[in-house]
C-alpha cells in the first residue's frame, strides 16, 4: 500500500503520517538541494525510510526515485529497513580486532540470532559493526545506544543485552 492509500484508523482522514511528511515537504518546497535534509527529517519520523514514503517524496519533489535511492544507499546514516529500539555497535577496529572483537561479534550474532547489519524480528536490537569508536583502551568494545561497554568477553554479553528492552 502506498502512503497516499493508507488511511487513519480512527476517522478515515488522511493518515497522520502523511500529514507530517507533507509538512516536511512544505518546509523545503522550491528549495534546491534539499533532498538530504528532507530524508533526514522523514527518517526521524519513521526511524527508517519506508519504500512507499520515498516514492511519495519522489513524486512530490519530482526528483527521480532512482536518484533518491542512490542518495539513500550512498550515506550510511540512511536506512531502508526498520531499526531496532536498541542499536548495538560492535567495534571491529585494529585494537579490538587483536583483542578478540571478532569473537564478540560472532557471539552477539548467535545471541541475537541475526547477522551484522540486521534487526531482530521483535525490533528490540539492530546489530552493526563500526571501524573504531575511539575507546581502544577498553578493547574489545561495543556501544549500545549511548552506553559504552568495554573489556568484553563472550560470557559477559547476555547479561548486558538483558538490560535493554
Partner 1 sequence: MTMVNLTINGKQIQAPQGATILEAARGAGIHIPTLCYHPELRPEGACRLCMVEASGARTLVASCVYPVSEGMVVNTNTNKVREARKTVVELLLANHPKDCLSCQKSGDCELQKIAADLGVRKIRFDGGERKAHTIDCSNPSLVRDQEKCILCGRCIRVCRDVQGMSVYSFARRGFDTIVAPAFESDLKDAVCTYCGQCASVCPTGAIVEKDDTEKVWAAINDPSKVVLVQTAPAVRVALGEELGIPAGSIVTGKMVAALRRLGFDKVFDTNFSADLTIMEEGHEFLHRLQNGGVLPMITSCSPGWVNMIELKYPELLPHLSTAKSPQQMFGAVAKTYYAEQAGIDPANIVCVSVMPCTAKKAEAEREEMCASGYRDVDVVITTRELGRMIREAGLDFAHLPEEAYDSPLGAGTGAAVIFGTTGGVMEAALRTVAEVVLGEELANVDYHDVRGMEQTREAVIKVGEVEVKIAVVHTLASARKMLERIKDGTADYHFIEVMACPGGCIGGGGQPVPVNSEIRRMRREALFECDRASELRKSHENPEIKQLYDTWLGKPLGEKAHSLLHTHYSAQKR
Q: Which x/- pattern, by CB under 8 A, does the window 10-49 give for partner 1?
A: ----------------------------------------
CB of 73 to partner 1, least distance (A): 5
- Name which of 29 and 67 has its Cβ closer to partner 1: 67
Distance between CA atoms of residues 2 and 101, nearest Å: 42
- The C-alpha torsion from 134 through 89 and 96 to 152, rounded to 10°, is 110
The reply to whether 66 sits near partner 1 by the rule CB under 8 A is yes
Q: Are 125 and 84 in contact (CB under 8 A)?
A: yes
**Helix H or strand E segment including 129:** strand 125-130
* Cell triple for 154: 563472550
- Name which of 8 and 80 has its Cβ closer to partner 1: 80
The reply to whether 130 sits near partner 1 by the rule CB under 8 A is no
The reply to whether 65 sits near partner 1 by the rule CB under 8 A is yes
The angle that helices 65-74 and 35-46 make with each other, rounded to 10 degrees, is 70
Which chain residues interact with partner 1 by CB under 8 A?
51, 64-70, 73-74
Amino acid at each position: 500500500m502506498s502512503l497516499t492509500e493508507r488511511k487513519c484508523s480512527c476517522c478515515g482522514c488522511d493518515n497522520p503520517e502523511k500529514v507530517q511528511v507533507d509538512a516536511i515537504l512544505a518546509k523545503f518546497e522550491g528549495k534546491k538541494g534539499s533532498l538530504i535534509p528532507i530524508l533526514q527529517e522523514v527518517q526521524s519520523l519513521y526511524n527508517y525510510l519506508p519504500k512507499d514514503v520515498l516514492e511519495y517524496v519522489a513524486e512530490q519533489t519530482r526528483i527521480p526515485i532512482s536518484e533518491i535511492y542512490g542518495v539513500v544507499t550512498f550515506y550510511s546514516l540512511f536506512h531502508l529497513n526498520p531499526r531496532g529500539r536498541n542499536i548495538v555497535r560492535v567495534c571491529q577496529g585494529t585494537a579490538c580486532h587483536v583483542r578478540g572483537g571478532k569473537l564478540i561479534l560472532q557471539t552477539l550474532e548467535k545471541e541475537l540470532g541475526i547477522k551484522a547489519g540486521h534487526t531482530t524480528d521483535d525490533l528490540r536490537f539492530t546489530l552493526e559493526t563500526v571501524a573504531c569508536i575511539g575507546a581502544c583502551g577498553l578493547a574489545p568494545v561495543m556501544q549500545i545506544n549511548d552506553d559504552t561497554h568495554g573489556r568484553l568477553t563472550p560470557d559477559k554479553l547476555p547479561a548486558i543485552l538483558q538490560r535493554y528492552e
